[in-house]
Amino acid sequence: MPGPAFRHGASVALCPVEEEDLAFCKRLRNDPDTRWEQFAATPTNDQSIEEWFEELSKPDTEAASFLVVPDESDEPVGYVELSGVERPASHATVDYCIAPDEQGNGYAVAALDLLVDYAIAERRLHRVRTTALADDSEAHEALEVVGFVEEETRREERYVDGAHRDVVSYAVLEPEWGDA
């Protein structure tokens, strides 16, 4: 069961990832239906997930990872992450992953909305970026609903299931955030 919520939204809460949540995160990172969007093709094992968690837990890190927990439940349905913070440019990357059986319920949009608001309003970031596979229309729709703007298509950037696939990059800028 996740710990206390760090941020609440209309339908989900973001709860910091704790050590007891690592098995859930590892399952998502290895799931054949979700791993290609945001994660490398290499498997996540106990050691690598613990190293990821240790890096997130350092007091001086600017990265943050949260479980996505629906209001009507105590069980996480995914997680979102803020990483790659660049100062003084004030840029960062967000990644997200919703369990396959929970997709289509609006959790990605709700969680990304909370995370981007946190990044811009509290962390004072100017530009928040992410990517989606070019043929993932549901991801594109979710990102655009949140307020991300398509920037470019990078041809054959990711190797997925034996084929090179295009990736579309998105970003939202601080001045645009209030207009989303």
Place of tokens 């549901």: 138
Place of tokens 């069961």: 1
51: which residues sit within 8 A by CB, 6+ positions away? none
Q: Are 21 and 2 contacting, i.e. CB atoms less than 8 angstroms apart?
A: yes
- The mean per-residue pLDDT over the stretch 103-107 comes to 94
CA–CA distance, 57 with 168 (Å, rounded to integer): 30
The pLDDT tens digits of the residues spanning 39-77 come to 556 778 889 889 888 888 887 788 899 999 999 888 999
| Confidence (pLDDT) at 39 | 58
Inter-helix orientation angle 137-146/107-117, to 10°: 40
Q: Domain 7-127 class?
A: alpha beta
Say how far apart CA 108 and CA 58 lie, in whole Å.
26
Query: Can you tell me the distance from the alpha carbon of 42 to that of 29, in angstroms, rounded to the nearest whole number?
Result: 10
Q: What is the pLDDT of residue 24?
A: 92
Quick one: pLDDT at residue 123? Answer: 93
- Inter-residue contact 67 to 18 (CB < 8 Å): no
Q: 174: part of which helix (H) or strand (E)?
A: helix 174-177
Residue 127: pLDDT band with limits 50, 70, 90: very high
Q: pTM for this structure?
A: 0.91
**pLDDT band at residue 177 under the 50/70/90 scheme:** very high
What DSSP string runs through 94-143?
Answer: EEEEE-GGGTTSSHHHHHHHHHHHIIIIIS--SEEEEEEETT-HHHHHHH
Q: What is the rounded CA–CA span in Å between residue 178 and residue 168? A: 23
- Sequence spans of domains, the chain: 7-127
From CA 147, how far away is CA 3, in angstroms rounded?
A: 29
Instruction: Read off the pLDDT of each residue in 140-168 and give the average, rounded to a whole number.
Output: 92
